[in-house]
Amino acid sequence: MKKLLPFKAIFLFLLISLFMLTSLSSLSGAQSIPWEYYSKYKIVVPFSCGNLAAKLSFKVEARFRDNAHYYNKIPVGISVKVNNHWEVGLFYALKNKKNKSHWDNYHLIWPEATFHASLSSIAIDDRQRFELHLTDRDQRYRNFLRIKFSALNGKLIPWIGNEARYFFKRKQIAMNEVFIGLIFKPYTPLSLNVFYDYRTVKKQANRWESANVIQTQVTYSF
């Protein structure tokens, strides 16, 4: 199969991104949409699980809105590469949410399975996640689809994605996120992922609220 040239992959990414941004702009209309910022730091430690490649991951996330820190999340988990296309994992996370003058703690665990596929300079990830929110006694299903466009020998990776969340207690899809981002790998162990996230959340009376989110994630892999 003829390899897709990097500049063609970048052009395709820009074309799709322009279409997505235009669509999001038309959806938002004249309403004022707030901005948020998420800061994430992740450490990945690979190891062997029998004949399979595995990795331990630890992440710290902080969220900011209206010039205030309102949310923390600390996930830790193990994932195993089953074959060239499938990876499965099990994770636990502690969340802290600010409620007026105090912070509330939440616990959740989840199994997940991710399908990987590639076509020349384009890679596709499709992640299925089933979250058990222990504190809220709720369950959520999340589907995250991402398309990556590799350039500069994999040091620069533009990407687009979408994640939908189904809330079992409410029996409906009550959250959706559209992503446009760029992964920069200055050298092998380190990567920086900077991306825009257009988030919509379904509130009471079927009313949707939107937010513009800028996210950054620094990942170090041993």
Could you give the domains of the chain? 36-221 (2.40.160.40)
How many Cβ atoms from other residues are within 10 Å of residue 150's Cβ? 21
Dihedral-angle region of residue 88 (phi above 0 means left; psi in -120 to 50 means alpha; beta otherwise): beta
- Which is it for the CA torsion 112, 87, 123, 117, positive or negative? negative
Listed in sequence order, the residues at least 6 apart from 187 whose beta carbon sits closer than 8 Å to its beta carbon are: none
Rounded Cα–Cα distance for residues 83 and 195 (Å): 29
pTM over 0.75? The answer is yes
Structure tokens given for 187: 């050298």
- Residue 96 amino acid letter: N
- Amino acid, res. 68: A
DSSP for 107-152? EEEEEEEEEEEEETTEEEEEEEEEEEETTTTEEEEEEEEEEEE-BT
Q: What percent of the chain has pLDDT over 90?
A: 72
Report the largest interatomic distance among the alpha carbons of the chain, rounded to a whole angstrom.
Answer: 60
pLDDT digit string (tens) for 156-206? 999 999 999 999 999 999 999 999 999 999 888 999 999 999 999 998 777
72 pLDDT band (50/70/90 cuts)? very high
Work out the number of other CB atoms within 10 angstroms of the CB of residue 75. Answer: 19
Of the segments 16-30, 72-86, 203-217, which one has the largest average pLDDT value? 72-86
User: How many CA atoms are closer than 13 Å to the CA of 156, on its beta-carbon side?
Assistant: 7
Shortest CA distance to 124 belongs to which of 9, 5, 8?
A: 9
